Chains A and B, each alone.
Chain A
Amino acid sequence: MTYPPWLDDFLWTYQNVIHALGINGLLALSMYVVLAVGQLSLGQAAFMGLGAYSSALMTLKLHLPFFVVLPASCVVPALFALAIGVPTLRLSGVYLAIATIGLGEVLRAIYLNLDVLGGALGLSGIPQRTETWMIYLLLIVAIAVLWRVGHSRIGRAMEAMREDPNAAQVMGVNVQRYRLGALVASAVLAGVAGALGAHASNFIGPNEYGFEPAVTILSYALLGGIGTPFAPVLGAWILTLLPEVLRGFSDFRGVFNGLIIVLAVLFLPNGLLALRMKRRAA
């Protein structure tokens, strides 16, 4: 794809930020999907890492073309989501949260210790296959799909079970199945975001998918709120741009993102953008 020269210059200069905005937007959406059914997964960074590592291996070792690698990158995260989601989602929400934080820690240890995965040095020399338009096309498609789903019968069911799972179950919503579907969808989104990130940056390492990124992804969604799919994306953009705009801010990013979550939960339970979907009475 060719761009006009001024756009080409702009994209070249700010390429990293532009990629990060799109990828973090996808991650924020992956968090949104789980929060929308009233669950809390802290495995978004872990799912992203699974997508990144599995896609990088497919490219580096199997030499598969990117149009195969990108869709395939969601398989491993989805399988992990099933293995963790099936047993935990029938229990109270703390079990999923615990198991997903644990997943992140375990994967970090595995990446560090397995030579195939590059150990502490990570995997480098990943060819740059990600194009800016791919990221934004996927982001737009994801927002559109989530928007449509949110306005459908499924969206109502999701909102009902977020407010009161028992009541929703009584009304005939298969709570268990929706939760599992949401978790797998979120793992797929995060996995694809991971593959895009890996093929945009040439290098991936074990610490990029650890505890801090996991919490940061939650802060995107909580800053924006989960009223509509736009809100978490906006949250991600604000928190991605801040360190670029404010010099010296990046040192304090962990403190800031953590406090965002504390303040959002304590004082702004609907997020910064307390928008809600409007829909006509059925």
Chain B
Amino acid sequence: MLSQQLVNGVLLGATYALFALGFTLMFGVLRVINLTYGFYFSAGAFIALFATRQWGFSIWLALPLAAIGSGLIAVLLDWLLLTRLRAKGAPELASLMVTLGAVLALYSAMTLLFGPDIRRLPPDVIGADALVFAGIRVTQAQFLVVGTTAVLVLALVALMRGTRLGVGIRAMAERPDAAELMGIDTARLAALVSFLSGFLAGAGGVLIGLNFNAIQPYMGEQMMLRGFVVIIVGGLGDLRGALIAGLLLGVIEVLTAGYLDSGLKEAVAFAILVAVLWTRPSGLFGQAVLRRA
């Protein structure tokens, strides 16, 4: 029983980690808490919904399509909302407010277009039978979740550590003005980082949609609480921290639901957020630079 719950927790945590990675990447490099991030998640799920329902795509095609689509939406929104403020060197709360207003407008517009009802992916999009090892059940959807997360995390690490682009992104995260002077095209890298974040969020939206089979416009907003907990606990801008904190949060939520009450999941997650802010505001792993006022 416990081992089954631990496995479920890790699988749930993998989606949280995937979702939070893009969020924390965006903050780490662009120095903006971009609240439109939750919308990329919803957008990814809706693109996959249309791809599978209307056009009859398989999930193997719908998943990358949704991720790329969300990535492009992220680039467009970043360009529309934030380039101007970035050029002016506006305070970080100004960009936070802009993205907050934009995301309410986007969710509301999406609800007007598609309605507030919960939609589902076609039932045959992925096999329903589960695999059982040593008494632990893992569904095919859960396999897809953990496999996709692992591939995306490895690809992200390879990009950041092993390529010139990754070096550029890390340089920009450290000192944008110095990076610019060293001949790095920071505007282009900002667009690339937005694309990567949107890509991760969009993929996360499809995977959560697949796992819980409930897709509706505000699903990204409901995911943001997990995103906040993970990026604060992992340390703002810390990719490795987000990965670990995401997995931990998944396990804690599943254990809370299993042994206490499933209605307390969110409360426990938030209590962890507040406890970390009180005791270790730079995150549990102490990697992120503490941004004091």
Contacts and interface: CB of A to CB of B under 8 A. Distances in A.
Nearest to A222: B97
B291 A251 contact: no
Interface in B117-142: none
B224 A94 contact: no
A189 B229 CA distance: 28
B88 to A, nearest CB: 10
B270 interface: yes
A4 interface: no
Contacts of B225: 101-102, 105-106
B79 to A, nearest CB: 13
A94 B92 contact: yes
A105 B222 contact: yes
Majority SS at the chain A contact face: helix
Contacts of A112: 263
B112 A218 contact: no
B16 to A, nearest CB: 14
A121 interface: no
B107 interface: yes
B266 A106 contact: yes
Contacts of B244: none
Contact of A254 (B33, B100, B105, B264): B105
Contact of A42 (B100, B108, B269): B100
Interface stretch (A85-93, A134-142, A229-237, A272-280): A85-93
A90 B104 CA distance: 28
Interface in A65-124: 83-84, 86-95, 97-99, 101-103, 105-106, 109-110, 112-114
Interface in B72-105: 81, 84-85, 91-94, 96-98, 100-105
A242 interface: no
A101 B290 CA distance: 21
Contacts of A90: 292-293
Interface stretch (A9-17, A152-160, A180-188, A255-263): A255-263
A91 B276 CA distance: 13
Contacts of A205: none
Given A94-B33, A211-B104, A261 B263 contact: no
Contacts of B92: 92-94
Nearest to B275: A87
Contacts of A257: 101, 104-105
B101 A259 contact: yes
Interface in B132-185: none
A217 B265 CA distance: 28
Contact of A102 (B84, B273, B278): B273
B187 interface: no
B229 A102 contact: yes
B292 A91 contact: yes
A98 B277 CA distance: 11
Contact of A105 (B109, B266, B293): B266
Q: Which 9 A-B pairs have the closest CB atoms?
A: A261-B101, A254-B108, A113-B263, A258-B105, A258-B104, A109-B266, A106-B270, A87-B277, A105-B225
17 contacts: A40-B97, A91-B290, A91-B293, A95-B281, A98-B228, A99-B228, A109-B265, A113-B264, A114-B263, A165-B293, A211-B221, A215-B104, A252-B108, A256-B105, A258-B108, A265-B94, A266-B81
